[in-house]
Amino acid sequence: MNKQTLLEEMAKKSELSKSKLEETLNLTLDSMKTVIKKHKALQLVGFGTFKVKTRAARMGVNPQTGAKIKIKASKTCGFKVGKAFKDTL
């Protein structure tokens, strides 16, 4: 599923236009990014928790040349499914 498919599914269950739904979805996603960046986590009870995770610097291997390379530390976002959501799967 992609964003357009999600918007179509939302439009079936709503009286709003796709353009209004897309605007609302974009606003929601942007707000989620801001909250996660600022507070390091976002918990949506019944759905799940988004959390900032840190990956330590490490050594890796270039698969084409076999040369060792240093991979910098980085941040990523993890998601843990909430119980209510998990039960629906």
50 and 75 fall within a common domain: yes
The domain in which residue 84 lies consists of 41-89
Rounded to a whole number of angstroms, the CA Rg of the chain reads: 19
Q: Three-state secondary structure along the chain?
A: CCHHHHHHHHHHCCCCCHHHHHHHHHHHHHHHHHHHHHHCEEEECCCEEEEEEEECCEEEECCCCCCEEEECCEEEEEEEECHHHHHHC
76 and 51 fall within a common domain: yes
What pLDDT shows up at residue 61?
96
Q: What is the pLDDT of residues 73-86, one digit of tens each?
A: 999 999 999 999 99
| Count of structural domains, the chain | 2
Q: What is the pLDDT of residues 9-63, one digit of tens each?
A: 999 999 899 999 999 999 999 999 999 999 999 999 999 999 999 999 999 999 9
Structure tokens belonging to residue 16: 């709003």
CA–CA gap between residue 48 and residue 43 (Å, rounded): 6
33 and 65 fall within a common domain: no
49 and 62 fall within a common domain: yes
Tracing tokens 């960046």 back to the chain, one arrives at 37
17 and 33 fall within a common domain: yes
1 has pLDDT over 90: no
30 and 50 fall within a common domain: no
CATH of the domain at 65: 4.10.520.10
